[in-house]
Amino acid sequence: RKEVEQDPGPFNVPEGATVAFNCTYSNSASQSFFWYRQDCRKEPKLLMSVYSSGNEDGRFTAQLNRASQYISLLIRDSKLSDSATYLCVVTPRGGYQKVTFGIGTKLQVIP
């Protein structure tokens, strides 16, 4: 089983729609979780951290489910500018922290 798994998509959604992505991880000792965004041929950029209590940043909401070992990203009121690949990232607890990226989920917001 891969350390981090994501549905590569693409997810094609109309403007204004709500879309959600999940990401599952295999290491129950994973401690830190993040969502990054990568635009075509550009470098990944941190979108948001994922906390145990969940967190929200404008139209974006991230959730963590430790029991089922997945994190989610919800985007409300999708904009054309949200079109990108969204990368799930997990790191283990303590010590050396290997940062593992999922393959990414491609989102295309359609006018």
Partner 1 sequence: NAGVMQNPRHLVRRRGQEARLRCSPMKGHSHVYWYRQLPEEGLKFMVYLQKENIIDESGMPKERFSAEFPKEGPSILRIQQVVRGDSAAYFCASSPWGSSGANVLTFGAGSRLTVL
Contact residues for partner 1 (CB under 8 A)?
32, 34, 41-46, 49, 87, 89, 91, 96-104
Closer residue to partner 1 in complex, CB, 32/69: 32
DSSP E strands: which ranges in the chain?
4-6, 11-14, 19-25, 30-38, 45-50, 55-57, 60-65, 70-75, 84-92, 100-101, 105-110
Phi, psi for residue 81 in degrees, rounded to 5: -70, -10
- CB of residue 52 to partner 1, shortest distance in Å: 14
Closer residue to partner 1 in complex, CB, 72/91: 91
Closer residue to partner 1 in complex, CB, 48/109: 48
- CB of residue 111 to partner 1, shortest distance in Å: 24
Beta partners for 87? 36
- CB of residue 100 to partner 1, shortest distance in Å: 7
Enter the tokens of residue 35: 């969502």
